Amino acid sequence: MDPFAKARAAADELIGRIAARASGRPLVMGILNVTPDSFSDGGRFAAVETALAHAGAMAAAGADIIDIGAESTRPGFVPVEAAEEWARLEPILGPLIESVAPPVSVDTTKAEIARRAAALGAAIINDISGLRADPAMAEVAAESGAALVVMHHRAEIDPDRDILADLFDFFDATLDLARQAGVAREKIVLDPGVGFGKSLRQNLQAIDSCGSLREKFGLPVLIGASRKSFIGALTGAPVEERLAGTLAAHLRAFWRGAAIFRVHDVAEHVAALKIWSEIDRA
């Protein structure tokens, strides 16, 4: 029996929805952090009951995907070993996949975690390292048939760098790694990595890069600007008061062609994107 049959079927259905925009709007990915130290909601959803309740609430609000992560990637984060990451994920992941309707994405840079998650039925591997952190990640994506989000990142900020050219170079290399491993190209989603090794101006350019990335690579683009520090830098708003800035950034990215939005505030994004879509159709 194929251990990844469930993950593969869920990924195929999801990729079809992204391609067809069957929902009439781009997809909303709700964030479920089961970490003690994430920048916005660390520690709030570490318990199984609270995590499942929050996932259920996001699904009821219209989330198309639930993205669960067990290792913080905030600036200055402390990496955790695979055993610790899985200990945080395992009690929640199985029940989440069985009980919550939207497909589940696992935010990890470790191939071992991705493999175990896909075996439970996770439809997406969300790798913020862009296949750089673990050489086996591309092989796991190919073997499992899960969809794969690959994110651009830089180790250090270089404000003089042409960030669009850097995105192109990075994704050229990432897609080559994926091709060599046998990952189906149509299952890959690009994430320009807002907040990861970029200056304020480069973050704004990354948000606006969706159209250029789609044109060059012919792949869907995910944007995750939710509550990030560049919004605070521009508005002075603390983390919990950055919804307006987040919506503005994401609507700009939608206008530029983004297909998926990774967000903390699901209901507000579903409403905003629906109104935009209805106006566009009218």
Query: Residue 258 corresponds to which tokens in the numbers above?
Result: 């983004």
For residue 243, what are the contacts with CB-CB under 8 A and spacing of at least 6? 227, 265, 268
262 a catalytic residue: yes
Give the amino acid at 272. A
- Could you tell me which of 238, 150, 158, 159 has the C-alpha nearest to residue 187? 150
Looking at residue 221, the DSSP 8-state letter turns out to be: B
Which entry of 132, 262, 274, 281 is annotated as an active-site residue?
262
Buried/exposed code over 225-248 (b: 16+ C-beta within 10 A; e: otherwise): bbbbbbbeeeeebeeeebbebbbb
Residue owning tokens 């491993």? 181
Give yes or no for a contact between 217 and 175, defined as CB atoms under 8 angstroms apart. yes
Interatomic CA distance for residues 138 and 141, integer angstroms: 5
Instruction: With residue 188 as reference, give the H or E element that holds it.
Output: strand 188-191
44 a catalytic residue: no
- Between vectors from CA 25 to CA 23 and to CA 30, what angle results, nearest 5°? 90
Give yes or no for a contact between 269 and 247, defined as CB atoms under 8 angstroms apart. yes
Which entry of 110, 116, 187, 228 is annotated as an active-site residue?
228
The burial class, CB within 10 Å (0-12 / 13-18 / 19+), for 181 is: middle
Question: Do β-strands 188-191 and 147-151 pair in parallel, antiparallel, or remain unpaired?
Answer: parallel
Catalytic residue set: 228, 262
